[in-house]
Every structure is written in C-alpha cells, then in structure tokens.
C-alpha cells in the first residue's frame, strides 16, 4: 500500500522504496493528529463569539489541523526534509483527490482599520515579521485575504491556512486581533477544507490499492 500511495501522489518510482517506512509512520501520526483536531470541541464560554478565548480555541484547532495535514501530505509526497509544504504540494494532493468542483469559503472580512494595520506592518520601519520569524510570503497571503483577495480554490485555502497557522504559532496573530479582523468564519471553514481533502484522499488511496490487488 505504501508504494501505491506514493505512486498516486506522483513520487518517482526509483525513490519509493526508501520512503516506505517514513510513509507508514507519517501517515499514522498525521492522520491521528488531523482526525483529533477535527473532532476538537470548541466550548461555549461566557461571552460566546465575542470572547477572545473562543478565537484562541478556533486558532489552535486550525494549528493542530494543519500540523496533522502537513505530516500526512509530506509523508505521502515522500518529503522527509524539514521544509514546509509549498503550493505545488497542495495542488498535487488536491488533483489526486479528483474533486468535481471547488468548495466555497468565507469572503474576506476587510474590517475597518485592516488596511492601516497591514500598511503599518509593511512599512520600512516595521520589522515585526522578522522578529517573530513570520515568512514574508505567509504575511502577503494573510494580508492579501484580509484586504479583499477572495479564495478561489482549495489550494488558496491551504496556503491561507498555512499562513494563519504560522502567524498564530509565532505569536503574530493574537486571538484579540483575530477577533478584530473578523476571522471567525474562515477559522471555521479551513478545517472543513482539510476534512474534505483528507476524506477524498483516503478514499482515493484505498480505491487504487484495491484495484492493484485485483
């Protein structure tokens, strides 16, 4: 099955054997983390959607979802390096799923004051991205969505999820700021996108494996 997984995801034949052990281990760990994150309960707390603790829970659920997704996809793609996923990695996996249509995602909130916040961070005098080790491309993806760039594909959604994950994990995007920026719906939508890809991918892999057995 390991060989079939790598074949489905486009890994070259001469490289498959060396990845088999890492693939099985990574699939198990990534799948468990992703499933656990998707089942994470967001508690109803005092203040509800207006409470920063609520946004913290949404953000860290997304962080866990992305972590599991990244481990799973890096394993399936045969990427055993420490480098993160790129657009072509997401696209390869999404194409392998065979979706018939794109999903819909929350439109950019573009709240009052977001352009000023983005412009301040983009100024020459600001080095907060460097200080917090936030990749400039991640910042461009996040700020682009916040200021009006609509998500048009699952690949775009994965790139935005990666940006939000990094911004959250590096302390760049606080729950209070996520609340101010009106990010509740996108924080709900992105885990659903991972679930769709995960389910379609597993079905595809098992289908191909069963065909190979016959």
pLDDT in tens, 118-146: 777 666 555 555 545 567 788 889 888 98
| pLDDT of 131 | 47
- How many residues are listed for the chain in this entry? 214
Per residue in 51-89, pLDDT tens?
A: 888 899 999 999 999 999 998 888 777 766 667 788 888
Domain definitions of the chain by residue range: 2-100+189-213, 114-188
Question: Residue 97's closest CA among 13, 208, 191?
Answer: 208
Distance CA 186, CA 190 (A): 6
Question: Residue 165's closest CA among 21, 66, 41?
Answer: 66
**Token couple for 195:** 């679930």
Residue 178 has pLDDT above 80, yes or no: yes
Average confidence score pLDDT of the chain = 79
């Amino acid at each position: 099955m390991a060989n079939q997984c790598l074949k489905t995801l486009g890994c070259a034949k001469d490289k498959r054997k060396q990845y088999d052990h890492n693939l099985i281990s990574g699939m198990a760990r990534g799948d468990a983390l992703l499933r656990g994150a998707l089942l994470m309960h967001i508690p109803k707390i005092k203040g509800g959607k207006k409470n920063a603790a609520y946004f913290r829970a949404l953000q860290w659920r997304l962080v866990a979802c992305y972590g599991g997704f990244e481990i799973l996809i890096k394993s399936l793609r045969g990427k055993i390096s420490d480098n993160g996923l790129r657009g072509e990695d997401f696209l390869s996996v999404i194409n392998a799923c065979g979706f018939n249509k794109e999903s819909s995602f929350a439109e950019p909130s573009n709240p009052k004051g977001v352009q000023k916040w983005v412009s301040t961070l983009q100024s020459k005098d600001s080095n907060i991205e460097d200080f917090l080790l936030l990749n400039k491309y991640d910042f461009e993806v996040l700020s682009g969505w916040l200021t009006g760039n609509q998500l048009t594909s699952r690949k775009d959604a994965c790139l935005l999820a990666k940006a939000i994950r990094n911004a959250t994990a590096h302390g760049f995007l606080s729950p209070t700021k996520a609340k101010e920026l009106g990010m509740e719906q996108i924080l709900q939508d992105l885990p659903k996108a991972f679930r769709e890809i995960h389910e379609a991918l597993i079905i595809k892999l098992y289908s191909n494996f069963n065909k190979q057995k016959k």
